Amino acid sequence: MDSEKLNDRWSAVKAQILGYPDVNAAEISAFFSRLEPQAMSDSFLMLTAGNEFIKTWVEDHYLASIQRALFDMTGTPFAVAIAVDPTQEQRQTAQAGAATAAPSPAAAAPVMAQAAGAAVPLAAPATPATPVTAGAGGGLNPVSAVAAGAEPCQVVEVAAPSTVAPVAAPQPFSGAPATPPSPASVAPAGAIETSEASRAAASPAAGSPMDPAAEQPASTLTFSNFVIGESNQMAYSMANEVAGNPGRPIFNPLFIYGKSGLGKTHLMLAIKNYIDKTQPHLRTVYADSADFVSKYMEASVAHDREKASFKNFKHYYEEADVLLIDDIQYLQNKKQCLDMVFQLFNSLTAQGKQVVLSADRAPKNIDVDDRYSSRFSSGGIVEVRPPDIETKLAIVKRFAEECSRNEGFSQCAIPDDIQMYIAENSSSNIRELLSAVTNVLYRMVFSGQSDMTIEGARVLLENHFSGGMSRNLSAEDIQREVENFFKVSHADLLSAKRSRSIAYPRQIAIYLCRQLLDVPYEDIGRKFNRDHSTAIYAVGAIEEKLKKERDVQEEVETLQKILSEL
């Protein structure tokens, strides 16, 4: 099978999977783009991934879906093997026109089957139903796709999967991961930021000896338990690239920005955890800006008593191979600390060491000297946007399942309509969403309300949400607050005027009616002297602006907060 035909077959498999219910399209886009088909026969498919994380994640979450798609398309059970090709990321980078980078230390080194001391390239199983298992002495047995009738697109030396189990007829798809993550390791995106960051940032006191092995405790926030959606897919992909290939000029520094509670700290600690696990020879240091300022002040005060204190403080960060500084906007108006960060930044990046920064706003909007913001913008910049309803619902489901496992609440499952209610009414801050899930679960358990209704959930959470539906809210309330906020008259809001100063507030008001009131488009249109198609257009226009324009996000969230307090 030639390369073009093989890629076409793989594209068809991906399209088939996207048609299944409960499949996260953003996850498919983020992970399957990092897989390459290598060989395919009538009952066997060989794929390669650029690093061990991508391989393991796809095996855990989508191997069953790939097998199901192949069965649905061909009527034949397939064995699917995924192996690691360390050169794959380099080829993709070269094809994208990026600078050539060294092979990722994070990717597993090619594992060669040994035959009389010679390395044997990996291909596919001699018989698709035959497992590929570890050979005697822990070595991996060579396997040949050619013998099975598969036609490899190219021969690559890759790490063999430890096991490719024989495949029986595919089972009904449940949407659940093939292998659930361990309870101790799962925390949805954005679930914990400041508190987790504070613990992870714990470091030796200024001036004290610093033991790298005991510098910072591990965090449970990893790539595998980050919930991917359209709003954070790009940030996730760039963070994963940095974790696998730290120091590449194109992403050095990496600057991640977005409002509080959207998962920035989760991504930063996921980078640290991944590098700590896969490249332990690299020293990673995570610092929350507030903690950095505190340590800087301690070192400055101690300098009069202990001359080495300030030197030790600086040395701690200078010796990092990967430095992650969270909430950099906190350094506004703190010139000495900012100068210190800038010195560290320049020193580390000049040596090809990785720097990752985060803030609640873009570099250009941080109140610092232009020379700082321009340098912070010199690498990759990516925004974590507020999650859409689908992403919030996925986070609700993930967190509810994890709480049930960890706390022994398996007998309590939050009904689907309550999960959707939480997703629709929570603000963009994920902590608020997770708190609502916790409240509902504990009420169900400790009050014996295992069959809680949607009305019971509304009563329980009536004062919980900062940006959700208000029980007594009306279209007139929304119109009034929008008019006050944008300084337009009621007559103009309902008029036929189409200037931006009138049309934009009108679209915002229609959007908020659709989000906060349980009424159809026809009713909303009548409230604004318009038909339902105009209301649909207005909602769509604001949804598009929310994806791209931070000012619109802030205006909508401010109005939601105002309306929630009525």
Binding residues: 261, 263-265
Whose tokens are 């940095």? That residue is 242
With 0-12 CB in 10 A as exposed, 13-18 as middle and 19+ as buried, what is 498?
exposed
Token pair in block for residue 126:
């001699």
- The full DSSP string for 131-142 is ---B-GGGPBPP
Alpha carbons 49 and 108: distance in angstroms, whole number = 11
- Strand positions, DSSP E, 64-121: 79-84, 113-115, 118-120
Peptide bond just before 77 cis, omega within 30 deg: no
CA torsion, ordered 47, 50, 54, 56, to nearest 10 deg: 70
The answer to whether the Cα torsion of 307, 313, 318, 319 is positive or negative is positive
Q: What is the largest CA-CA distance in the chain?
A: 88
The answer to whether the Cα torsion of 238, 241, 245, 246 is positive or negative is positive
- Amino acid identity, position 119: A
344-to-137, 159, 239, 253, 355 alpha-carbon distances in Å: 47, 38, 21, 12, 9
With 0-12 CB in 10 A as exposed, 13-18 as middle and 19+ as buried, what is 395?
buried
* Residues of the binding site for ATP: 261, 263-265
Angle (CA) 116-119-121 rounded to 5° is 130
What is the number of other CB atoms lying within 10 angstroms of the CB of residue 447?
Answer: 11
The answer to whether the Cα torsion of 229, 231, 232, 235 is positive or negative is positive
Which residues neighbour 6 within 8 Å (Cβ) at sequence distance 6 or greater? 37, 38, 39, 40, 153
Number of residues assigned to the chain:
566
Q: Do 321 and 344 contact (CB within 8 A), yes or no? A: no
- Please choose, from the candidates 273, 203, 280, 287, the residue with its C-alpha nearest in 3D space to the C-alpha of residue 242: 273
Element (H, E) at 285: strand 284-288
- Please choose, from the candidates 330, 349, 277, the residue with its C-alpha nearest in 3D space to the C-alpha of residue 108: 277
Q: Do 524 and 475 contact (CB within 8 A), yes or no? A: yes
- Strand positions, DSSP E, 132-279: 254-257
Burial 277-316 (b: 16+ CB within 10 A, else e): ebbeebbbbbbbbbbbbebbebbeebbeeeeebbebbbeb
Which residues neighbour 374 within 8 Å (Cβ) at sequence distance 6 or greater? 363
Q: Do 104 and 124 contact (CB within 8 A), yes or no? A: no
